[in-house]
Amino acid sequence: MAIIRIEAVKDEHSDLFFIEIYRPAEAEQPYVTTEPRYKSAAAAENDIVAILAAVASSPDRGSLG
């Protein structure tokens, strides 16, 4: 069971990608949307994975809940 869904979306105006995070995964509207700043979907996905990994490995575990 997925708790969140992450999608990389291309912004047609800037030609850059941004991230949408859906919580719960089945939600129709994003819970969080970043600014378009990534040159590719892969770069956006790699960055969000790195951010989540850093938060998950921090001593206080951040505030993902």
pLDDT single digits (tens) 1-50: 679 999 999 999 999 999 999 999 999 999 999 999 999 999 999 999 99
Residue 55, pLDDT score? 87
Q: Is residue 17 part of a domain?
A: yes
Q: Is residue 64 part of a domain?
A: no
Residue 24, pLDDT score? 95
Indicate the number of domains in the chain: 1
List the domain range (segments joined by +) for residue 50. 5-57
Q: Is residue 62 part of a domain?
A: no
Residue 59, pLDDT score? 82
Give the residue from 32, 25, 18, 38 showing the smallest Cα distance to 63: 32
> What's the first-to-final CA gap in the chain, in angstroms?
16
Q: Is residue 65 part of a domain?
A: no
Q: How far is it, in rounded angstroms, from Cα 44 to Cα 37? A: 8
Q: Is residue 9 part of a domain?
A: yes
- What tokens does 53 get? 């990994």
Residue 60, pLDDT score? 74
- pTM across the whole model: 0.80
Residue 32, pLDDT score? 94
Q: Is residue 63 part of a domain?
A: no
Q: Is residue 53 part of a domain?
A: yes
